[in-house]
Structure 1
Amino acid sequence: MAAPKTIPAALVVFLCFCSQAQAIKDFDYYSLVLMWPASYCFQSAAGCCLPTTGKPALDFFITGLQTRNSATGDVAAECKQSNFYVKELADLTDDLYAYWTNIRCPSTNPLSNWKNSWKTSGVCSGLSEHDYFKTALELREKLDLLSIFKKNGIVPSGENFYNVEYIKKVIKKSLGVSVAIECNRNMWDESQFYQIYFCFDKDASTIISCPNVKPSTCAEEVTFGLFTYDMLVNTAAKPNPIKMYTS
């Protein structure tokens, strides 16, 4: 009987790598990431700038609709190659300019944000490009987080600090789920409410408690700064409208 052939070590490593790569592409829930823009503006002396597409909403911005794996908590990303067609979003652009924009300096437009989200998580979602962005906008609107906060005494202010556990309890009471909160630090080295992760089942509509929540980056109490248009510096000489192109 011939001796069994052994698999070369390099091939074993390759097969393991392929298996892990495949696993990370499997997703079973969404994570909608909302950012409080004032905390972006206050994180450094660079401040923030008015987008070339006009004034955004004075509300939470979307920074991503991530496809995630509940077993690991990792983002399932780049499942396939797909072009980004901004013309597919023609009926959504007003809302995207308002709620999924870019306030970094110098002034720019949010096209790169949208393209990156589509090519990273959108392609894993099974949704069309249009439906992926429409879904993110609809979920943000249904949450209406600012209203929930205001009803419970959590109001943007340059003076007040809020207990992070109280914020989580407010959300739990209002929506029945647990969320993940991310903080950053402002120029005065204060912990500030920065991003919040809401999780949804694979149907992209049923809200669920977020699995595999990582340890908080927040202090016990955080600032929740006021966001106004006065904070947005206009560094563009003239508007820079998004061109309809494919990439």
Structure 2
Amino acid sequence: MLSLSAIPILFLLQFTIFISSTPFNHASGAIIFHTKDGQEQREFDYFKLALQWPGTVCKGTRHCCSSNGCCNRSGAFGDFTIHGLWPDYNDGTWPACCNGKIFDEKEILTLLDPLKKYWPSLSCSSPSTCHGSKGSFWAHEWEKHGTCSYPVAHDEYNYFLTTLNVYFKYNVTKVLNDAGYLPSNTEKYPLGGIISAIQNAFHATPSFGCKKGAVEELYLCFYKDFKPRDCAESHSQNGIISSRSSCPKYVSLPAYEPKARIFEFADSSRQYLSA
């Protein structure tokens, strides 16, 4: 079984080579992307690594299917898992669907094992792609966000490889566990303490999203060379820098507790009970 501590060695070697050979010219004019409807979008300002806490997300599961990681238990549910690596603008907006490149799973066959474990879909829904159709979770993330990652990630494979490497290198789950913030269905933790633990480890401030007092998403932000930066946004209305959060002062990190659920497969009217 793959472990979060064992995998990064090979990936980080490739990651170091990839990053060191990628040019970052912040002084030059921004790259302009054209969407399929002809609209212009400029090059992004920074990256946001969006992570999900399965113990919170999976509590909202109403029915199961073969692709839902909350049901098939294929993910690393003691860890934050990946939602996506998002190119963002400093004003709180973001580019999307920056070219016509369609997701092709064959491009990432060598990455499927870690992707299934650390980047699972936690839903049965088929999200929209940039081409007016429905697709997989990975297809949505690549077409909406990955295509806007140029010039850092040049293609689909490099986008997913880069995301995995950033996730492994900045192992926020280990940071929190080492600080005593462990999955629990009874404990509540001070949000300020969680933030401080991450600040001490990465020298940057994260941001959070919560649902009913439980951490649902955690965001780590990076410059284009993947050095950490604060997840702060400049709001154009008043120019004030702030970090928005839907979390209370004390939050929970619910433990993942799989329960017996009904699997509903679209290609059959039969229902299967999974223990």
Query: TM-score higher than 0.5 here?
Result: yes
How far apart, CA to CA, are the structure 1 residues paired with 2:189 and 2:201?
A: 17
Task: Report 1:35-114 matches (<5 A).
Answer: 35-42=52-59, 44=60, 46=62, 51=67, 55-58=74-77, 59-70=79-90, 72-105=91-124, 112-114=136-138
Corresponding letter in the other structure for 1:132: Y
> What does residue 115 of structure 1 align with?
139
Deviation at 1:103, TM superposition (A): 2.5
Corresponding letter in the other structure for 2:102: N
Cα distance change, pair 211–45 in 1 and its aligned pair in 2 (3 A): closer
Cα distance change, pair 89–233 in 1 and its aligned pair in 2 (3 A): farther
Contact 1:68 1:74 in 2 (8 A): yes
Cα distance change, pair 39–202 in 1 and its aligned pair in 2 (3 A): same
Indicate the structure whose relative CO is greater, using CA pairs within 8 Å and at least 6 residues apart.
Answer: 1
Deviation at 1:165, TM superposition (A): 1.2
Q: Quick one: which of 190, 205, 227 aligns to 1:178?
A: 205
> What does residue 124 of structure 1 align with?
148
Counting aligned pairs with the same residue, the percent is 28
> Which digits, 9 at most, give the CA deviation of each residue in 1:131-175, with x for residues without a partner?
000111111111122211111110100000011111111111111
> Which digits, 9 at most, give the CA deviation of each residue in 1:35-67, with x for residues without a partner?
00110122x372766646852112211111100
Whether 1:215 and 2:244 are equivalent positions in the alignment is yes
In the superposition, the TM-score normalised over structure 1's length comes to: 0.75
Contact 2:231 2:243 in 1 (8 A): no
How far apart, CA to CA, are the structure 2 residues paired with 1:84 and 1:129?
A: 7
Q: Work out which of the two has the higher radius of gyration on C-alpha atoms and give 1 or 2.
A: 1
Unmatched segments (≥5 aa) in structure 2 = 1-38, 127-134, 234-241, 266-275
Whether 1:235 and 2:263 are equivalent positions in the alignment is yes
Cα distance change, pair 61–118 in 1 and its aligned pair in 2 (3 A): same
Cα distance change, pair 216–231 in 1 and its aligned pair in 2 (3 A): same
> What does residue 238 of structure 2 align with?
none
Corresponding letter in the other structure for 2:46: Y
Cα distance change, pair 57–232 in 1 and its aligned pair in 2 (3 A): farther
Contact 1:49 1:235 in 2 (8 A): yes
Contact 1:201 1:208 in 2 (8 A): yes
Cα distance change, pair 178–92 in 1 and its aligned pair in 2 (3 A): same
Q: Quick one: which of 172, 177, 182 aligns to 1:145?
A: 172
Corresponding letter in the other structure for 1:152: A
Unmatched segments (≥5 aa) in structure 1 = 1-20, 186-190, 238-247
Structure 1's consecutive aligned runs of 4 or more residues displaced over 6 angstroms after TM superposition are 47-50
Deviation at 1:225, TM superposition (A): 0.5
Cα distance change, pair 142–47 in 1 and its aligned pair in 2 (3 A): farther
In the superposition, the TM-score normalised over structure 2's length comes to: 0.68
Per the alignment, in what secondary structure is the counterpart of residue 194 of structure 1? strand
Contact 1:41 1:48 in 2 (8 A): no
Corresponding letter in the other structure for 1:30: F
Q: Quick one: which of 183, 192, 214 aligns to 1:165?
A: 192
> What does residue 254 of structure 2 align with?
225
Corresponding letter in the other structure for 2:244: P
Contact 1:31 1:200 in 2 (8 A): yes
Contact 2:63 2:262 in 1 (8 A): no
> What does residue 221 of structure 2 align with?
199
